[in-house]
Chain A
Amino acid sequence: MLRLMIITKQKNFDDILRSIDSKPVFLIGCNQCATLCHTGGKDEVLALKKALETKKISVSGWVILEPACHTMNDKRMLKDHAAELSQSEKILVLACGNGVQTLAGLVTEKEIIAGTDTLFLGEISHITEFNKRCVMCGECLLDSYGGLCPVSQCPKSMLNGPCGGSFHGKCEINQQVECVWDRIIQGLKKRGALQALSIIQPPKDWSKAGEMNRRI
């Protein structure tokens, strides 16, 4: 199964301890992305609870939101944990930065701690492997590149690539990563469509990436 998700990684445990600063804490996870990339599902929240208690940190309670970025669901679910929340001084959120901010907007009387770093919008390639696929630039150019995105996957975001530094199909910046331009070229070649690359792609319109709100 391939799904596109906001991929996170948990912050270093020592950094989390420093942020908690020995104060009582309430833990929040998320049943969507953070569950699928194993950073803030039930398993991870309970594991962190145990680790914190070993360090003599009082954990007043926990909840897995459905999902953390859903304001209305959060309000409803947090009501059931009002007593536990009141016993905490801080709230540690194991969700993406989006979820952390939704909670910061809802629970203004407590200090919110982000327990993860948000990395990218990516594909779940295997259960334990995630690959960057999108930087949400506001104007999709995939049609010009055989369905592969140089904006998010080329470290130099080259629209008229390749840079010439790849080696045996691997990126010059990171030999663990496939050169997206190599994949674009191989894909187009397979379909006899290499000619598409002779078109000079104009500079990208980054004003499209400036959207802050959308209503439907």
Chain B
Amino acid sequence: MTYRSTFEKSLSEERFVVTAEIGPPKSADPLKIRDKAILLEGCADAFNVTDNQTAVVRLSSLAGSLILLQMDMEPIMQMTCRDRNRIGLQSDVLGAAALGVRNILCLTGDHQSVGNHPGAKGVFDIDSIQLLQIIKNMRDEGIFQSGDLLRGTRPCVFLGAAANPYADPSEIQVDRLRKKIDAGAEFIQTQSVYNVEKFLVWIDDVRSQGLDKQVHILAGITPLKSVKMAERMKYHVPGTDVPDAVYERIKNASDPAKEGYQIALQTIRELKDIKGIHGIHITALFWEEIIPALVTESGLHTQR
């Protein structure tokens, strides 16, 4: 069996994997990515490079992915549908694959109104499910979205998507996961988990339909660094679920960052043993330096 990426190989061999997010800078400084990469080297199997996350202009995910490749680290290039139409997206898939990118995470993307250019025209020519299907067809069938044929080398990429166990309406979320798998998703990174109980309900549904056998699921972790961040996640970030008990723990702590770390640690330990979970995806927003300790202390490190 040949694998498209080392990340795919690890998942296929049923190793419990870790991915970590590296957000590119609001500058043309490659050192900003290299410094984060050096800090996180060895902490994760692969590293998500975000694509202008929250609609804020940053160094591109393709360039960020290439910087990681030059350091022999494995990128998961994120692609959103907000800033490029199907021509631009397909072109960048070819370019990324030619440069050595082997994992792509397909997202629809945050709306431009939440970012630093609210006057921008959002593209949204296609959505994440269509993007998955388009790249899958480029890879497996050698055809572009229009039906036109690729000439020569196809983009040999391992495809991922996001899933949100907390999204409204909850009754259709597992069907939506199935649709992403049908479209081409081979791995899933979930929304950050704070409400483990609700996550268990979702994963039970996923397992009962056998979807955990069809796709590799990584559960999301975002350590809460401060009361302000907990408040933002609880009340302002769409699609997140911070239970009152977690919020109170942060709010009443003498050292909120330390408490946030403990909560993340506890959550990883609870998620690690759940049947159907194949890894942890850590998104430490502006707090990447906490990841090495989190990975080591939760026992994720020894497994690699």
Contact = CB atoms under 8 A, between A and B. Distances in A.
Given A198-B175, A200-B129, A203-B145, A155 B111 contact: yes
Interface stretch (A48-56, A92-100, A164-172): A164-172
Contact of A203 (B130, B175, B179): B130
Contacts of B122: 155-156
Given A155-B111, A156-B108, A200 B183 contact: yes
Interface in A166-216: 166-169, 172-173, 179, 182, 185, 194, 197-198, 200-204, 206
A159 to B, nearest CB: 6
A159 B130 contact: yes
A185 B171 CA distance: 10
Interface in A148-168: 155-168
A173 B111 contact: yes
A155 B121 CA distance: 11
Interface of A is mostly: loop
Contact of B130 (A164, A173, A202, A206): A202
A34 B81 CA distance: 36
A159 B127 contact: yes
Interface residues of B, number: 34
A162 to B, nearest CB: 7
B111 A160 contact: no
B145 A160 contact: no
Contacts of A198: 175, 178-179
B145 to A, nearest CB: 6
A158 B124 contact: yes
B289 interface: no
Contacts of B130: 159-160, 200-203
A168 B175 contact: no
Interface string B161-185: 0001001110011011011001100
Contacts of A173: 111, 113-114
Contact of B167 (A156, A165, A203): A165
Given A168-B168, A203-B134, A163 B108 contact: yes
A33 to B, nearest CB: 25
Given A158-B124, A172-B239, A200-B179, 6 more contacts: A159-B127, A159-B130, A162-B169, A164-B164, A173-B113, A203-B126
10 contacts: A155-B111, A155-B122, A156-B81, A156-B124, A160-B128, A164-B164, A164-B239, A166-B168, A200-B129, A200-B182
Q: Which 5 A-B pairs have the closest CB atoms?
A: A165-B238, A164-B167, A172-B238, A160-B129, A164-B164
